[in-house]
Structure 1
Amino acid sequence: MERIGVIGVGVMGSRMVRRLLANGAEVKIYDLDHNKMEPLVRMGAKLAVSPADVAASSTCIITCVAGAEAVEAVLTGNKGVIDSIQQGSVVVETTTSTPTVTRKVAASLEKKGACIIDAPFCGGVSAADKGKLLFLVGGKEDVLERCRPVLNVLGKDTIHVGDLGSGHVAKAVIMMMTGANLIAAAEIIGLGVKAGLDRNKILDVINVSSGESFITSSYFTNYSLLQTYDSDYTLENVLKEIRVCMQIAHEMGIPALVGTRVEEIYALAHNQGMGSGDVTKIVSFIEHLMGVSSLGRQPAR
């Protein structure tokens, strides 16, 4: 296996490191928060003092940082990967970032004889623990094939969706669809309840009709109505993906009429202190705005 470096060992990055170590990989890690690195070092990871230090001894560098600005900082900033990356090395960019940033850093890496693929993932904490993430990859197929053994340790499936940057587009589109479907279902079911219909009946009818979706048959039923709120996605992370989708639309000059309203609603919930909570709690937020009470799956009449 490649000599692997991981930059960013927070909630998801740390789980990637654990799986790689458990599968016998040599892993060097870096994070701005040194406290996050200590447990992984005790498990066998090697400590780096900067992204450049990671790159100096790694042939495959995985980034899992906070966003597009952080990607640029760790890859091409001061003491960044670009300072010491080896010719022939590859960067696997798993961060919620943008196609524009990925292509920009790719140009810098190419001058050093290195390459990059964007590989954002679908799946939360439990999927990362079990190695069941889904990676959506943009970039050259031969580079993906080289990285596939590493990605296979971390995920259940890896889909090549197109040229460099396409992975970020695919992930952003998926999350925009998820976010839009969730608030649409909340509003429509809330409307029915407000009009005097039984919540169970509304959902049952939707799920045997053309209105059915994964959101109504899984998310809404299992997480929101039962008030478990454990879908493994925070509202803050979904909002981040929605904003990436909106940025892509703006850069292309495409009107995003529905997307604009979806972003506004999630931003409103975020500003009400819901960012760190599970995204499925937005159902109760929507119903509260509508004056709908008694959220939860109610006894059949």
Structure 2
Amino acid sequence: MVKTEKPVIGFIGLGVMGNSMASNILKAGYDLLVYNRTKSKSDSLVAKGAKWKDSPADIAVNSDLVISMVGYPGDVEEIYFGECGIIENMKKGGIIVDMTTSKPSLAEKIYDEAKKRGIYSLDAPVSGGDIGARDGTLSIMAGGDRKVFEEVLPVFKLIGKNIVWQGKAGSGQHTKMCNQIAIAGNMMGVCEMLAYAEKAGLDPKRVLESIETGAAGSWSLSNLTPRMIDGDFKPGFYVKHFIKDMNIALEEARSMQLNTPALKLAKSLYDLLEKEGKGNCGTQVLYELISRY
């Protein structure tokens, strides 16, 4: 494992959340190497002192710890495997941490292939959206070897507050599926609540003030309802990525012979939004759909 006091960290994936996560690591004084398919998304980090690398392989060769935060399981496969992938090019004893919300089976595959090459692996998806990424308050759900988790914990503490080791490889991804299932049902309730408040002639901001600290309280209620009220549907978390997550959760649930009717309904509503061309909006855009009826 990494022995240096401050390992050189490579960060791959500089989207809505990844950019802020990488920025918080950089602020803490770590040497940071960055890569993103769209190079311009790295400009702000490079201006602050990060170093651009031309490929995931180049990141792997020059890093002690590599963190990835990309979009889809297919993206994870692409950057980790093959001759130009992270695993093939990572130095022995290095650590790889995939923080993408992805398939538990893929996390297990990465762990197994990394182990063959003397590399340590964690799956550590996050929750908290753009606000949590910006403020360094994300919830981090980690799977993999406990000792490796403890070694990476100082870095995790730069980007998250609620950081929990869940168990063996894949456990972090399974926990994230639990998170997404809970959010899926809750988002429908939050949007219906707001539509109801407005139909009843209430001031929605006052309604929120009354209910957010009671039994109805949730992160989505407190953080996304104000955006809905203001008509702000910019992404803290993309509709298209939420659909991806729900698909993974439904697939895993089917494999365990578990019925998830609320999840199925939520996905059907988000599928409608994507058909309307709203895949790049934030998940709170569900309010627009629900308020029409």
Name the TM-score class by shorter chain. 0.7 to 0.9
SS at match of 2:291: helix
Give the partner amino acid of 2:284.
T
Structure 2: runs of 5 or more not aligned: 1-5
User: Would you say 1:181 and 2:158 are equivalent positions?
Assistant: no
Deviation at 1:31, TM superposition (A): 1.9
Name the CA distance, whole Å, in 1 between partners of 2:283 and 2:179: 15
Task: Tell me which residue corresponds to 1:117.
Answer: 122
Q: TM-score, normalised by structure 2?
A: 0.86
Give the partner amino acid of 1:6.
F
Q: In 2 relative to 1, CA 217–11 (structure 1 residues): closer, same or farther, beyond 3 Å?
A: closer
Task: Tell me which residue corresponds to 2:15.
Answer: 10
Query: Could you tell me which of 20, 45, 50 is aligned with 2:55?
Result: 50
Q: In 2 relative to 1, CA 183–165 (structure 1 residues): closer, same or farther, beyond 3 Å?
A: same
The range that moved more, 209-218 or 155-164, is: 209-218
Does structure 2 retain, via aligned residues, the 8 Å contact 1:182–1:215? no
- 1:29-44 correspondence to structure 2 within 5 Å: 29-44=34-49
Task: Tell me which residue corresponds to 2:222.
Answer: 218
Matched residues, percent identical? 26
Name the CA distance, whole Å, in 1 between partners of 2:179 and 2:147: 25
The range that moved more, 39-48 or 242-251, is: 39-48
Task: Tell me which residue corresponds to 1:295.
Answer: none
Give the partner amino acid of 1:50.
S
Name the CA distance, whole Å, in 2 between partners of 1:191 and 1:85: 54
Does structure 1 retain, via aligned residues, the 8 Å contact 2:70–2:76? yes
Structure 1: runs of 5 or more not aligned: 291-301
Does structure 2 retain, via aligned residues, the 8 Å contact 1:207–1:216? no
Task: Tell me which residue corresponds to 2:257.
Answer: 253
Task: Tell me which residue corresponds to 1:294.
Answer: none
Give the partner amino acid of 1:26.
D
Q: TM-score, normalised by structure 1?
A: 0.84
Does structure 2 retain, via aligned residues, the 8 Å contact 1:223–1:229? yes
Name the CA distance, whole Å, in 2 between partners of 1:220 and 1:51: 34
Name the CA distance, whole Å, in 2 between partners of 1:81 and 1:282: 37
Query: Could you tell me which of 241, 245, 262 is aligned with 2:245?
Result: 241
The range that moved more, 90-99 or 213-222, is: 213-222
